[in-house]
Each structure stands twice: as C-alpha cells, then as structure tokens.
Structure 1
Amino acid sequence: MSQDIMDDHSMCEHVIKVNGVDIAYQLHGNALRPTLLLIHGLSTPLTGWPRAMVDAFVAANFHVLLVDNRDVGRSQQLDHLPIPNMGWVITKLKLGFSIKTPYQLEDMMQDIIALLDALKLSEVHVVGASMGGMIAQLMAIHHPQKVKTLTSIMSTTGYKQLPGIDKNIRETLLQKPVSKEHEDQMHSHIKKWQVIGSPDYPSSETYLQQYVESMLQRGITAKGTIRQMLAIMSAGNREGELSKLNIPSLVIHGDRDGLVNVAGGKATADAIPNAKLKIYPGMGHDFPVELIPSIVNDIVTHVNTHLGDRA
C-alpha cells in the first residue's frame, strides 16, 4: 500500500475520560462503514498496528478504531497505582496463590466498552493481538452484544499449563536498556522485536527502526509495561467462558511464535465453538510485511461473511 494513503483518508484523534481513565484513540475512514476495532498488546501503543494494515482495512470499506490501552501511548499513565514486589509475585504464582495487581485485564476491557459507549458504537468487529486478543476475548465473554465478530491473533486462553515463553526470548525481555537515552531505548526495543519476530520473515533494519520509533514517540514506559504485565499474569483461564460463546470467531497464530506459543492459539480455537483457525508457517509474534496482505484478507473475509448476521 502507498505510504500516502493514511494521509489521504479521514482520520481523527482524541483523548476521552472513560471508566475513570483517559483513553486515547484514533478513527480512520468513513464513519458510515462497519467499525473494525483494533486492540494491541503489552506495552504496544496503537502505532504497533502496521500502517499498511490500517490502510488496507480502510480500503476494504471499514471504519477503523485504534486505541491506546491504559498505561501506554497517549492514554493515561497510572503511576499512582503501586507496583508489588515482582519476586514475591512470581513466588506466589508458582505456589498457585492469587496475586494482587494494580488492575486486571477486565478493567482494560471495561475501558474499551466505555469508549464504545461514549462513541455511540453499539457493536463492532473486534480484532485483538496478543494481550489485545485477551481483552477482545473478555469483551466477547462479558459484552457479547457489542461484539459482532471476534478475531484473536497470537493470543491465548490464560490456561497456565500451556507452553511458556522461549528461554532466549525471556532472557532478552528481562534485559533493561543501558540508559534512558533515546538511542539506548531504541536499541533495546529493536532487539526485543527481532527476538520475538518471525524467523522466516525477518524485518529489515530500516523498517524496524521506523516501527519502533513510531511507538516510542507515542509513549512506552517501564512502569506502565509492568502494570500491564501483572494484569496478564494474574488473569484466569478463560476456556470455560469461551466455550459458551456464540460469536463468529477467527483465530490467527504463527507456528514459530516464541512469546505466545502456537498452542495458545490452538487452545483458543478449540475453546470457542465453530471458531476458524489459521496458522501461518514461519510467523512469530509480529506482523511481517510479507504476510500483511494475507492476514488482512483473512480478517476482511471473516468479517464480511458475517456482516448481516444481526441486521
């Protein structure tokens, strides 16, 4: 897609207080078209959605709503909420105890629901990636009337017995930037995306620099990332609730995802009645440029198949 398309189509950005939190969002395309809501993952602002994807959805006649989750991007940083001792948190989880966290994934889900209410969007087609997939699943579980279709990408059900993070990825993610200087932050985030990325579709250095720059400029903080991570760590198993869904669902995952193992995608598709599963060989925990047209087509076909279901 042309780099100019996003500049040509209608786009507006606002920050609004919903559910007691300032949430930033963007709307792209024609408001008279069906709305496609895109929710991204851990410490990833709305610019984490590749520009080519947003352009393609608009070109496919969708009104696209992008959001910054709480604690990332231009949404509110909840620094007044205390962060528990992480060593103690991990110990409690290993022993099977519940943990107290600044907020839950359900709170993040409620931010989105309140935003939809404020925008007077009665129902949307929800697409969630990684943590965003978990939030999208919770929307479908708790507010099914608002979710016309569900697409869960590189996500999981919260079942703790599924395979965990690859060791080399965990070690890389635990490494802190050398300093708070922009260059060191850039280097750290680029390294992270390289290690979680798609082995068969490595991103060029130029693309990664531009991609990471767009997210850092929008806003990523260490404390915000920890609070979001704690919400993921404390989440329960959604499989039982997912099994009761009656929403057209598509699950997309890469078979080389070392951050959220492909078993998580398979478990999600197994849990949701009649869900469609699309596994991409060689894809990791990112959206490779080469696969974007195919992934967009998967989602557009899924949504268009069910456009008239609740007419």
Structure 2
Amino acid sequence: MDGPSAHTDTPGWQSGDALCNGLKLHWEATGPESGEPMLMVMGLGCQLIQWPDVLCLDLAKRGFRVIRFDNRDAGLSDTVDRQLRFSLRRDYVRVRLGLRPGPANYLLHDMAADTVGLMDALGLKRAHLVGVSMGGMIAQLTAGTFPDRVASLCSIMSGTNHPWVRQTRIDLLLRLASRPPDLQRDTIVARQAETFRLIGSPLYPTSLEDRRAFAGRAFDRAFRPGGTLRQMHAIVATGSFEKLLPNITAPTQIIHGTDDPLMRTICGRRSASMIRGAKLELIKGMGHDCPKVLMPRWAELIAANAARASSPP
C-alpha cells in the first residue's frame, strides 16, 4: 500500500492508493487517526467526492476516522474489464424471469471483498460501514459475508437487489443504461445535471447551478462510462442476496426517502425486515440524492447507530 499523500484530492484530507485483491483502490481519510474507522461505500458510477464533505466532516468532528474510496471501475481506482460482451437489457429480463444472466466482469460479492481488502490494506480489523444505493448493497453484502469485520452498518437508499421487487422506474433505468449522444464535456455535464434532477429530492431540490457544477467536477476528475455499465451489470448479475442478511450481527440503520424514484421505499423496508434488530428511518420528501440540508440528520443517525456497536473497532 502506498502511504498517505501530501497532495490530496480534497484539502484537509489524506489520500493514498491501496492494493486490494490485486486492484488499486484510491482512498481519502479525515478525522482523528485514533478514531473509530468508518468506511463510506459509494454507489453506481459515482466517485468518493460524491460523499458530501459536510457529512464526512460532521462525522469526523464526532471522533470517527472517516475513509471514503473509489470503487473498482470508478474515479481513480483500477479498471476491471475482462472484455466480456454482455447485454444489460437481455440479462435484466433474464433475471426477472428467474433465469441465469450471462457472464459478468465481476459481481457485487467481489466489490464486498474489495471493501474488506481495503480494510486489510489500511490495517483495520473492524470498521463501521456506511453505504448509499449500490454502496448500500455492497455494505450489506460485506456485513453478511464478513460479519466479524463490521462494527455497525448503515444502508441508505438501497435494498436487497431482489429482481422480483418493483424497485426502479423503468424510464430511469433505461436512462442510466443508455449511452449519451456524444462524450463531449458540455453534453455529459448537462445530461448528468438533468439525471440529478430526475432522481433528486422533491422537498429538498438542488439548484441547476449546483448540479452542473458538481457534474463538471466529477467529469474533470474521472469520466468512466464503461465502468458504470460494468457496475450496473454486476448489480443485475448478482441478483438477490437476501439469504445472507440473517448473518448480519452488526447494529443496523436503514435510511430511505419516501420519494425515491430509483429505489422505491419498499427496498429499504425489505432490508430492514430481514436484518435482525435493524432500525428504519423514512425521510419524507427525500429522493435518491444527498441533500445538504439533510446531512446533519444523516450524521446523527449514523453516529447513534455506531454507538450501538457491542465493542468499538
């Protein structure tokens, strides 16, 4: 593992590259080095910068060592492309019919192993896990597969990935799976800003200026449409992981918005019903994003759940 870098993506953060399962994963950390480690697992096609600084710094002020990282095939982490030809639409239909999908470059199980691999590389025996969307699935899988490594679990706007649960608006799914008309910066920024609007929180809207500014920042840091498609195929090819949820022993907090068009409320309810002792917090008017005004509430829920851990990591 490379040591912390003096040159960081974000001021006030340490950063580095860790070798995990043969892959380089890029990470950033803030908060006291002696604090309880908290790994932040991001969602589909997203980078570590999409964890709001205001949330991470709030958690750091509460004494946690906050570590956010780029998943495989995203941001500054390694590409994983086995040159497999796949059809998202075909395999989506197949799993909905109870049939096997075609071969995948990797599964969410591999991304859960990446999470534990990062912990190993950073010398962490246990950690609190927080995941959003696909990252929530990865966090649940990690807690169900490696229960002794997870001190607490918080899954936000996520679910159990059961193919028969009506979880996503088809128009949004098709939008995420489709290729843009061109790959020019202006086109991608405008398209991403509109996607943010479509999946965002109706009660806590983000301005067009802010949506465009963030989309531009993400594009300039790392634009990897192929990685997003491979991650999406991993979600489809993995299918339900509900059989692992009873293995979770960590205190669990589920957070979900009542107006989430990408992962309907039933998804969060289903996770909460299958994880022993899980608490469910439904936030009225929240969609599938991270509104700044809600970050203090998220931080309080995450910290309170971490305090329920039987022993600190």
Q: How does 1:29-40 map to 2 (within 5 A)?
A: 29-40=31-42
Query: Residue 67 of structure 1 aligns with which residue?
Result: 69
1:226-271 deviations in whole A, cap 9, x for unaligned?
1100110012322232123221000000010110111000000000
Amino acid aligned to 1:284: G
Could you tell me whether the CA contact under 8 Å between 1:131 and 1:155 is conserved in 2? yes
TM-score, normalising length: structure 1: 0.92
CA positional deviation for 1:218: 2.5
Query: Residue 245 of structure 1 aligns with which residue?
Result: 248
Say whether residues 1:164 and 2:164 are aligned partners.
no
Change over 3 Å in CA distance of 1:131–1:216 after alignment to 2 = same
Aligned counterparts of 1:126 and 1:257: Cα–Cα separation in 2: 22
Aligned counterparts of 2:231 and 2:9: Cα–Cα separation in 1: 31
Query: Residue 150 of structure 1 aligns with which residue?
Result: 153
Aligned with 2:104: secondary structure?
Answer: coil
Say whether residues 1:285 and 2:288 are aligned partners.
yes
1:23 aligned to which of 16, 22, 25: 25
Query: Residue 138 of structure 1 aligns with which residue?
Result: 141
Q: Percent identity?
A: 30
Could you tell me whether the CA contact under 8 Å between 2:251 and 2:308 is conserved in 1? no
Aligned with 1:250: secondary structure?
Answer: strand
Query: Residue 81 of structure 1 aligns with which residue?
Result: 83
Say whether residues 1:14 and 2:16 are aligned partners.
yes
The answer for unaligned runs of 5 or more in structure 1 is: 1-5
1:194-251 deviations in whole A, cap 9, x for unaligned?
1011111110122212322232222232210111001100123222321232210000
Aligned counterparts of 1:136 and 1:217: Cα–Cα separation in 2: 28
2:279 aligned to which of 272, 276, 280: 276
Say whether residues 1:256 and 2:270 are aligned partners.
no
CA positional deviation for 1:284: 0.4
Measured on the aligned residues, the alpha-carbon RMSD in Å equals 2.0
Aligned with 1:273: secondary structure?
Answer: coil
Figure out how many residues of one structure are paired with residues of the other and give that number: 305
Aligned counterparts of 1:11 and 1:209: Cα–Cα separation in 2: 24
Aligned with 1:243: secondary structure?
Answer: helix
Residues 78-87 or 59-68, more deviating: 78-87
Query: Residue 307 of structure 2 aligns with which residue?
Result: 304
Change over 3 Å in CA distance of 1:91–1:295 after alignment to 2 = closer
The answer for unaligned runs of 5 or more in structure 2 is: 1-7
Aligned counterparts of 1:83 and 1:7: Cα–Cα separation in 2: 34
CA positional deviation for 1:10: 4.7
CA positional deviation for 1:91: 4.1
1:41 aligned to which of 40, 43, 55: 43
Change over 3 Å in CA distance of 1:239–1:92 after alignment to 2 = closer
Say whether residues 1:104 and 2:107 are aligned partners.
yes
1:61-87 deviations in whole A, cap 9, x for unaligned?
111110100000000122343231334
Aligned counterparts of 1:143 and 1:90: Cα–Cα separation in 2: 28
Query: Residue 3 of structure 2 aligns with which residue?
Result: none
Aligned with 1:305: secondary structure?
Answer: coil
Aligned with 1:161: secondary structure?
Answer: coil
Query: Residue 4 of structure 2 aligns with which residue?
Result: none
Change over 3 Å in CA distance of 1:163–1:91 after alignment to 2 = closer
Aligned with 2:180: secondary structure?
Answer: coil
Change over 3 Å in CA distance of 1:237–1:12 after alignment to 2 = same
